[in-house]
Each structure stands twice: as structure tokens, then as C-alpha cells.
Structure 1
């Protein structure tokens, strides 16, 4: 029988995108509650315990409550919120993050989908830490710009309903107190022992992310070069169809980074920039915050858990 999938919170930005990605598939069934029942705790609990896999597209507190509703031991969960991303009882749902991670996701009962910004940061940093090229206590500053859909459905509606003259500024840097909720996730999943400084921003475009990390080579181990950093990333992601690492020639040819370049896909594009610089490099990630940064990763994890896909 086709597996039954329930999306709890399917009217939010991520839930709607997951629905769209699953639309028309014949290898699974979607369980959807009528509008009048979506906030009924009893009906939600019934739906969660009737499905094979539930995808939680909810605020953090509601996701914790939904997870607590599970009484059927056969039910498996994918949580798209940030509620469980540093919880050791949940498998982190970044399949390409480490050897064997896809297999751990495939066997897991509880999977926590990565955050959008952490997908780029962890994707860049963890392989370099593991390769010994980046000390885990290195002082890091991470800068990222996301489309305004990163703020959720309410922010999307507010931005798109506003008259041009009353729309927010074209760029809004936020998290100025350096206590963004994604920082602990980045630190833990990248294997860092020192908390990075993370500075996010929203741009006047709907979706997409560009994330960068600048490194001073003189502060790294002697002999560390842009070529060595590139090789570490390239080796780590070799054969991974959802992650691409630009070649040095491709990276050198870039004049700008387009945050919307991979919109509508589940791809993550990484690059080591500044190959000609003797003492500095720029690590860069481009991806869709609603794709590999949210719904795309959720569907990828769903397929792994159902045995329908491989990384």
C-alpha cells in the first residue's frame, strides 16, 4: 500500500511548497484536513497517528506539541521547525552533511529538517572542520541575505500586498544582537566549539539565499590555501547530486552572486572565491531558501525515509 503522509501546518509557506512538490505523485498518499479541522487538537492527533510519516510545518512550540501527540509507535516525523535541530534524539536532516547521514535519515523515526541559513553555513564549514583545515574554535563571521519569504507567510503577504511606496527597504539587516536562533544549530552541526557571529538580512526578492564566510588564510594552519579548501569541499561532496562545488575556473569567472540562481530547485551551490588572493578567501553558498533550505530538503528526507531515493 502507498505510504500515507500528513503535513501538519500545510497552509504555511513551507507546507504549501511541500504540497506543490508532492502534487501529482502516485507513489504516496497525502492526508489533508478540512480547513475547519486544522486547528482541532483531537483531529490533528488522529491524523498524525493515522499516517506513516507526518511533516510538521509549524512554529517551534506547536511542533513540540505535535510531536508529543504521537502515540502510535509506527509513526515517523519530519520537523521543519527549529524546535529539534540540536536535539540529539532527532537525526539532523542534512543528508550530504557527513558520510552515512543519508542512511541515518533513512532509518530514523525522528528527523529535524535543517534551517535555511544553516544549510549553507554547515554545508561550507563542516567539511573544512572535518578535514582539519578550519579549527573548530576559529572566529567566524557569517553573512547571509535571504528572500523575504524567509520571514514566513505573514511577511510574504505583507510585502506583496503593500504599495511600492510603502514596502520595506530593499535590504534589511536584522539579528543585530547576534543571538539569532540559527546560531546554536550552525555551531553544533558544523562541529564548531566557538560560537560564530551570524548576521542575516532580508532582500526585496521573494526567495533565494546567498551566504558568505570570509577567511584570512594567515590565521589558519600554515600551508592552507584556497585550492586546499576547494579540494576538501569537492572531495566531500563528490557524487552528491544535490550539492555542487564550482571548479576554481568557474568560481574565478564569477563577478557577482545571484541569490535567486537556484530558485525552484533542491540544489546547493558552493564556491571558494578569491583564488588569486594570497591571503584571503571567500566561501559562498547559493540555494533556494524554500528549496534545499526548507521544502526541498523535507521532500528529500521524506523520500529517503520511504526508501524512494538515495543521495
Structure 2
């Protein structure tokens, strides 16, 4: 039996390079890419996509839509790492741990859309609470997150590692127009009827995310133990998502966004103050790992196992 061919379309970007590196040396697949002179040749790209078993699209949104539309071979399966199809009907959301049976849906899918980095943390924290009825669909969710500058793609890396790096800010909040493209994805896959607030930011370090969601326990009518128990049940046995013990979060004074860099893992925690009736849910993970290339390779492995 011949090895399955995995074509990486856009392997020069941040995510594509990371995927290529994670697949380096694998003996169970054949990795295909286009030569530099052929990358902008629409006919050559379409031919490569239609000649593979699984196409990994690491492209800007418009180019990803074009690439997906070029697939005419019914045997070709697609993983899109862009945000082009994250709320598109017919595309399976590639967060295997999100809900019961999601891993199986990814494995059997013809079209998989990789989650965004920030939504991975927000959905990972809140979707189990929604399913358990602990978080109303109209709760005014506010998501705050800081990512390494690689979250800004090639432009972000250039700003902090290029010739003008000395002038790059130590910290910057953005998305203040409250129209970030990740918001519809969060709302749809958490299961909210109200649009969540999302305030993202970049720090002067290369990669890693800390994402937090404040919750008012009094208005929820739930305590931290119930929230933690829900998350703990949901992710029991998970290989890549770990829920920190409640007694551990009670003594943690700070969170390091870089602690899981280079992995496909995510830590979730419930931090709380019982006296004030407040909690903060937190997720820590690598924006280039579980937030991008690591998740893509995880989905690829699920799809390959289904062959």
C-alpha cells in the first residue's frame, strides 16, 4: 500500500513552516510542497491539491477559499488552517476535545477547519460549561488574551525580529473596534446567543498564550468547585488538555504564557475568590502548537487513522 500524500499549500508562512517541521522525518506519509517558482501558478497548485490524499491549507483566507474550491477529486480531504471556513456549514470544526464525539467527526471528515488560536482557549474553557447548563447562552462573556508576537504572522515576526525591532512595543492591545474575526467563531462554537467581548494583545515574546475569562459566580448561581468539576469530567483522559487541580490554582500567583511552548498541550484552570463571589477561567497554550500547527497535525493524524 502506497504512503498517503500530504500536500502543504503555503508552507512558507508561520503555521506552514511549523507543520512542515512537525512532520519532518515521518515514515508513514509523503509530504509534498510546491517549488518556489510554482507557488503562484494556479494550475500547478490545483493539480497538486487534486493529486494528494490530504491537503493542508496554510494560506490567507481568500486564497484558502480559492484552494478549497479548486478541489475536484472526491478522494481529496482538506484541513484548512486559515479562518476562512470556521463557521461554514459542511466543515467539521477541528477541535477534537471540544465535545463528545468530535474526534470521531474529525477523523471521518472530508473538510476540516482548524480552530483559531484564541478561540481554542475560549471554547476549551466555556463549551463544557454551556453543555452542562452552568453558563447561560446570554451570559455577557468577556475574553482577554495575550499572545506572543508570532500570532501576528509574518508581519508580527518582522516587527519584533526585523531591523526595527528596537522600536517594537513591549505590549500592545489591539482589536479595540470589537470586530475581531475570531469573535463569530467563539460565539458559534461556545454556543452563545450574545456576541462575546474579545480583547486580544501581543507581548514582546515569540509564542505562547494566556487567555482569561472572568465570571461572576453570584449571577451564575454556581461555585468554583462546580465549574472545575465540569471541566475535569469533560477532559478526563484527554491526551492534550489538562485541567489544573483546584487546590493547585489556589496557590498559583501568576501564569507563564511560554510554559507549554513547543507542545500541543493546553492547561485549563479555575481561579476564584469565594469571599467576593468571583472566578477567572484561564487557558495556557502555545499559539503555534495547540493554537495552530500542533492542532493541524493532531487532526491530520486522526484523519489518517480513519483511512
Query: TM-score, normalization: structure 1?
Result: 0.96
Give the CA deviation at 1:21. Answer: 0.2
- Residue 196 of structure 1 aligns with which residue? 196
- Residue 45 of structure 1 aligns with which residue? 46
- Residue 260 of structure 1 aligns with which residue? 258
- Residue 172 of structure 1 aligns with which residue? 172
Aligned length: 306
Give the CA deviation at 1:276. Answer: 4.3
Cα distance in 1, alignment partners of residues 44 and 158 from structure 2: 28
Please give the per-residue CA displacement for 1:41-60, whole angstroms capped at 9, x wherever unaligned: 01100100000000000000
Give the CA deviation at 1:7. Answer: 0.5
Cα distance in 2, alignment partners of residues 290 and 140 from structure 1: 25
Give the CA deviation at 1:159. Answer: 1.5
- Residue 124 of structure 2 aligns with which residue? 123
Give the CA deviation at 1:154. Answer: 2.5
- Residue 227 of structure 1 aligns with which residue? 225
| Counterpart secondary structure, 1:306 | helix
The ranges of structure 1 where at least 4 consecutive aligned residues each deviate by more than 3 angstroms after the TM superposition are 162-165, 275-278
Give the CA deviation at 1:295. Answer: 0.1
| Counterpart secondary structure, 2:259 | coil
Give the CA deviation at 1:209. Answer: 0.4
Query: TM-score, normalization: structure 2?
Result: 0.98
CA contact (8 A) 1:227 1:275 kept: no
Please give the per-residue CA displacement for 1:210-264, whole angstroms capped at 9, x wherever unaligned: 000001111113xx10000000000000001100000011111211011111000
Cα distance in 2, alignment partners of residues 121 and 32 from structure 1: 33
CA shift in 2, pair 1:61/1:163, >3 Å: closer
* Unaligned runs of at least 5 residues, structure 1: none
- Residue 297 of structure 1 aligns with which residue? 295
- Residue 154 of structure 1 aligns with which residue? 155
Cα distance in 2, alignment partners of residues 148 and 46 from structure 1: 34
- Residue 244 of structure 1 aligns with which residue? 242
Any residues of structure 2 matched to 1:48-197 within 5 Å, and which?
A: 48-163=49-164, 165-166=166-167, 168-197=168-197
Cα distance in 1, alignment partners of residues 188 and 145 from structure 2: 18
* Unaligned runs of at least 5 residues, structure 2: none
Cα distance in 1, alignment partners of residues 275 and 112 from structure 2: 41
Cα distance in 1, alignment partners of residues 165 and 305 from structure 2: 47
Cα distance in 2, alignment partners of residues 165 and 106 from structure 1: 45
CA shift in 2, pair 1:153/1:164, >3 Å: closer
- Residue 29 of structure 2 aligns with which residue? 28
- Residue 305 of structure 2 aligns with which residue? 307
CA contact (8 A) 1:248 1:275 kept: no
Cα distance in 2, alignment partners of residues 274 and 164 from structure 1: 38
CA RMSD of aligned residues (A): 1.2
Cα distance in 1, alignment partners of residues 166 and 31 from structure 2: 41
| Counterpart secondary structure, 2:300 | helix
| Counterpart secondary structure, 1:74 | coil
Cα distance in 1, alignment partners of residues 26 and 47 from structure 2: 24
Give the CA deviation at 1:275. Answer: 5.1
Give the CA deviation at 1:144. Answer: 0.3
